[in-house]
Amino acid sequence: MDIHSNDAHNPPDISSVFKFSNCRIPCLKSLSALLGSIDDRNIIEKFYSADIVELPRSLEVSRILSSKNEHFMHLKLTLFEHYINLSLPYGEAPIKVVKDRVSEIPNFTYVRENIFGLNIERPIAPPPIGCNCEKKGTSIYSSNCLNTDYCCPRLSGVTNAYNQYGTLKHTQRKPIFECNSACSCKENCSNRIVQHLRKVPLCLFTTVNGKGWGVKTEFAIESGRFVMEYLGEVITSREAELRGKYYDNEGATYLFDLDFNDVDNVYTIDAKNFGNISHFVNHSCEPNLEVFPVWIDNLDVNLPHIALFSKKHIIAGSELTFDYRMYKDFQSTKKFKGVPCLCESTKCRKYLC
């Protein structure tokens, strides 16, 4: 809403359309008067008062406004933008929400890390192995653990995935083992990338071709750069089958099987109700992001982090996409049965199958 417009100075009483859970908002009944005298930023400060500290669980911004009046759309999207950015872990790049189109606020909870479903224990054991590169005493070991046979990747039977600039040495889909809490190296080690969170500022926008929300980058991204982690609710494969039948009827594609090993998958990430910015990344048969399994503190082969890296140079303003189908050498996939493809790329398969 443009608070400087004539309509903004005579807003209707909207106190009855706000819905909150487990929070107290001062001056709610006088919100109409506030809209006519202060800007959105100050309104947001009223909403996110000092007693609202346990995000994202304490507040469901997607349900704050039930009104579909266009006059309130800017405010709704502004609240949603602030909710997302207040939900981000410390040090992660901001997310902008484009407010140029009337869009429904997504009904989901923004999370900072994967949450675990019923009968699944969160891994809390310390990592069984860690590198001693820092104790080797040479500058190359103390700087970043690169080019050494003693670091975590080598100890896990793979090569180091990153170069000295923190980008992938190659975009082939190979497992990544980062240094962990048992390692002697410092936090600025070049083998600590995904664990240092997303550094690329992103933008949520409404697509014009029926794909709903989408994600684009505000700045150019070089090839091999870590962009974001795919987060959601970790559930068993059996539970995923049950949910998948329901989601198929909705045409939803939020189930991501964690089967990066040589046996059947044990777990699936469901990002429908709990997730992060990756919840909004659309599919493309010719994507600019690639999926990699990453192990850090938890070395359970069935529970890797799912990291999205740029597979090529991405220009500023481009929509970010990845292939829901994935590839034969990594069988992990989002569920896509019967869902038409809307990517419109030259390599479009028409269906996500």
Question: What does the chain come to in residues?
Answer: 353
145 is in an annotated binding site: no
The pLDDT of residue 135: 65
Q: Work out how many domains the chain is built from and give that number.
A: 3
Same domain flag for 277 and 301: yes
pLDDT in tens, 106-119: 888 999 999 999 88
pTM: 0.78
The pLDDT of residue 145: 84
Answer yes or no: are the C-beta atoms of 316 and 325 closer than 8 Å. no
DSSP secondary structure string, 229-290?
EE--EEEEHHHHHHHHHHHHHHT---EEE---SSS---EEEE-SSEE-GGGGPEE-SS-SEE
pLDDT in tens, 254-288: 899 888 776 677 899 999 999 999 999 999 989 99
Helix, strand or coil, per DSSP, at residue 58: coil
341 is in an annotated binding site: yes
**b/e burial code for range 64-80 (CB count within 10 A of at least 16 → b):** bbeeeeebbbbbbbbbb
348 is in an annotated binding site: yes
Q: Give the pair of three-digit tokens for residue 105.
A: 């606020």
27 is in an annotated binding site: no
203 is in an annotated binding site: no
Please report, as a single letter, which amino acid is at residue 289. L
Same domain flag for 247 and 262: yes
Q: Which structural domain, as residue segments, surrounds residue 147?
A: 129-192
Residue 33 has pLDDT above 50, yes or no: no
pLDDT in tens, 141-162: 445 587 778 899 988 889 999 9
Residue 194 has pLDDT above 50, yes or no: yes
Same domain flag for 100 and 137: no
Peptide bond into 56 cis (omega under 30): yes
pLDDT in tens, 90-101: 999 999 999 877
Say which residues have a Cβ less than 8 Å from residue 54's Cβ, sequence separation at least 6: none
2 within a domain of the structure (yes/no): no
The pLDDT of residue 38: 42
185 is in an annotated binding site: yes
| More confident site: 43 or 89 | 89
Same domain flag for 251 and 110: yes
Same domain flag for 99 and 152: no
Please give the sequence-ordered ranges of beta strands (E in DSSP) within the chain, or none if there are none. Answer: 95-97, 109-110, 115-116, 176-177, 202-206, 213-217, 226-230, 233-236, 255-257, 267-270, 274-275, 282-283, 289-295, 305-310, 321-322
The pLDDT of residue 55: 39
pLDDT grade, residue 290 (50/70/90)?
A: very high
The pLDDT of residue 15: 34
Domain end point (choices 175, 192, 209)? 192
Same domain flag for 290 and 213: yes
Same domain flag for 61 and 186: no
Domain end point (choices 192, 209, 244)? 192
Residue 182 has pLDDT above 80, yes or no: yes
